[in-house]
Amino acid sequence: MVERIEGRPVCGLAAGDYFEVTESSRLRIPDGKHFCIFAIAAALPLLAAKQRQQSPDDWLEQDSMVMCPDPDERLVMRIDRTRLRRIPTEAVT
């Protein structure tokens, strides 16, 4: 979710805009909305790990903020785990 924009909002996103990862690998954007692919790309490397429960001492459990790579925009996103779900090992690759 877009937490805040500290610079020039050039991608058309606003605080509160979001995308969801469902079924461990499916991307869902609300109807009629968009999400900047560069902002998504900044969050992607963390999403698989954030879907799993980590040790309480692991930095991934303590930090959930991601910054878009556009230095003029300074879009800050927060990764939230919205629910727990069990996915059988044989259902994923």
Is the model's pLDDT at 4 over the cut of 90?
A: yes
Which residues, at least 6 apart from 61, have a Cβ–Cβ distance to it below 8 Å? 53, 54, 55
Best CA proximity match to 59, nearest among 79, 75, 74: 79
34-64 tens-digit pLDDT = 999 999 999 998 888 777 777 778 777 777 8
93 vs 53: which has the higher pLDDT: 53
